[in-house]
Structure 1
Amino acid sequence: MLTNQFVLGVTESTQKFNGGDILYTVAAFAVLLFILKKVAWGPLMGIMIKREEYIANEISAAEKSRIESNQFLEEQKALLKEARIEAQAMIENSKEHGEVQREEIIQVARQEADRLKESARLEINEQKEQAIVALREQVASLSVLIASKVIEKELSEDDQQKLINEYIQKAGE
């Protein structure tokens, strides 16, 4: 029974309002909060502010880098477009130059062909003149030969015509 009284006595004494303990607990809590604020909360908030500034700086740097990248991309697109235009102009220039060269080659070839034709025509005319001179010489010698044969013998008109035709046929061969 003694244990029952002791338990009852302890429970009765713990149920009393004790203002000093509450005051002591509140003061200890306030001191603990003050120490936490100075030792942990202040540096922790400083680190958080620095981290926030670092993240904000990184975001602005990334945004700036993105803007610069877009500008560089636009510049590269413009340079590529300019290079394509320049390449197209070079191709057109090459085509025109090739066309001019082709025309020059054709013109030179025509001039050479005309020169060769003129040279051949002159050679043909020269050969023709030589043939005419040779033919005249042969006709003259044949005429002399016919005349000498006519003188040697008296021929009738049919014989003379036959003889002339034979010599003309020989001259044609």
Structure 2
Amino acid sequence: MMNVNDYIKQHIRTVADWPQAGIQFRDITPLLQDPKVFRVLIDIFLARYANAKLDLIAGLDARGFILGSVVAYELNLGFVPIRKKGKLPFTTVSEQYELEYGSATVELHTDACKSGDRVLLIDDLIATGGTMMAGKKLLERLGATVIEGAVIVDLPELGGSKLIEESGLPVFKVCDFAGH
């Protein structure tokens, strides 16, 4: 009998050499396209956070929006998007970070959360950890407490989840692609 993590993992497509040569991109769109698999995935997050004391869910651009908004809706919480630079229309704070294939900047509206808010930070994947660390820093700059980072996929060889956990933020991972 297959465990739920393997069930989710078998619905993630690997795309070689995208967005550049040498990158093995883990594409979650096949699991989003299958309603049963998507429901199992969301139920994993709901089971984990059903009794957590949370005020908001923050999702990282862009696949974190898909997961985070559904989880926020199901838990009756607000949702906060952390977007790529230049995409938010109101006053923002920003944080630059490094990716495995370059650098980027994310932004958050200055009124996205308030001091003392307890926030779950969610994304599809952790590689080098830069995106999640940047999101954590933005939320904390506004006074929120990020209680956990949550992802579908961890790529442990790239060291991101270790970096995040060493910063003091626990990380929940549905599955990993160790050795890939």
Normalising by structure 1, report the TM-score: 0.17
Structure showing greater Rg: 1
More helix by share: 1
More strand by share: 2
Normalising by structure 2, report the TM-score: 0.17
**Structure with more contact order per residue of length (Cα contacts < 8 Å, sep ≥ 6):** 2
